[in-house]
Amino acid sequence: MAEADTTPPAANALAESQLALRDRLVDAGRLIPTGVAGLFGRDVVFEAVVSGVGALVAAAGEDDHPTRVSYPPLIPKVDFDKIGYLRNFPELVGPVFSFVGDAADHRAVVERLDGDAPYGDLLTQTEVTLTPACCYPIYPSVTGALGAGGAVFETCAYCFRHEPSVDPMRLQAFRQHEHIRIATPDEVLDWRARWLERAPELLSALGLDVISDIANDPFFGRAGRLMKMSQREQQLKIEFLVDVYGDEHRTACSSINYHQDHFGHTFGIHTDDGADAHSSCIGFGLERCTVALFNQHGTDVAQWPSPVRDRLGL
Ligand code: ATP
Ligand code: ZN
């Protein structure tokens, strides 16, 4: 006899809404399934919305004259390890492995392939890791004295997090568009205060129902519980949450993190007075915003309200 389903009804209802939204996007052709949860192709319409949102995120920070930089979706393993991602979020990481053996080692791999058996233990970790947040490659690049006024960067890249889900708002590979401030604590907090206004303005001008709230990162395990509490107490992470699955299940389309001196200390970045620089970043999840817009206005952009289409250049 099948065991009784013990999943609470609320969780079932939420999963059903997530599946329904995913199916709407797939049926309309906006997302192309690959067979792996959270890994999709995107059609040209989806990409047009992504570009429109990216352009708005760029424009919102223009007054700060950011230095625009691009990195591939990989960072050196040494930097990834220094940042502490594996320590804090072990179940999300994507280290890259490859084959470095000889002909005999290769025969062993092929045998596993032929037998449909796992072969991970025959591969070797490389010097690179998939980037989980697009600002990470920037901090190691600014080591040393920052100079007066500090630095502002803007970047966008694909990120990887191993969090397979039926929810089309939660992908394994997604783009972040970020603005990053590295400076004295006062300068960083001033910058953050401006984005606390800009971000909800940007999202609500697109017809999304958005609220701001204090949040925490999913730090792992027992030690992680304390880190979550301390992050909340100090209000280091603020999310801009949209209503896609009901008011009680809001999802972050954007979040702003204040790292204090974490990156400044780790990578030896100094302000004029010789102190470790502070930093903060605001990241917009481009696919999250895009999926939220399809949910809000429908999968056919021709039917979207014209002010929203105009804003996005559609
Ligand atoms: P969540 O709490 O939903 O896991 P987060 O707050 O940890 O997300 P951040 O690390 O702050 O996310 O990343 C910045 C932005 O990147 C998020 O606000 C979100 O829009 C986007 N993002 C994060 N994880 C995902 C994902 N798995 N799929 C799609 N977008 C994501
Ligand atoms: Zn960041």
What residue's CA is closest to ligand 1, atom 31? 285
* Positions in the chain whose pLDDT score sits under 70: 1-11
pTM for this entry: 0.95
What DSSP designation does 284 have? E
Q: Is the CB of 254 under 6 A from ligand 1?
A: yes
- Is-contact 75 137, C-beta < 8 A? yes
**CA contacts within 13 A on the Cβ side of 96:** 17
pLDDT of residue 195: 98
pLDDT of 221-265, one tens digit each?
988 999 999 899 999 999 999 999 999 999 999 999 999 999 999
**CA contacts within 13 A on the Cβ side of 237:** 17
Q: Is the CB of 134 under 6 A from ligand 1?
A: no
Helix residue spans in the chain (DSSP H): 9-27, 44-60, 77-83, 85-88, 103-114, 138-141, 185-204, 221-233, 262-266, 286-297, 306-312
Q: Report CA(157)–ligand 2 centroid distance (Å).
A: 11
pLDDT of residue 1: 46
What residue's CA is closest to ligand 1, atom 19? 285
pLDDT of residue 3: 52
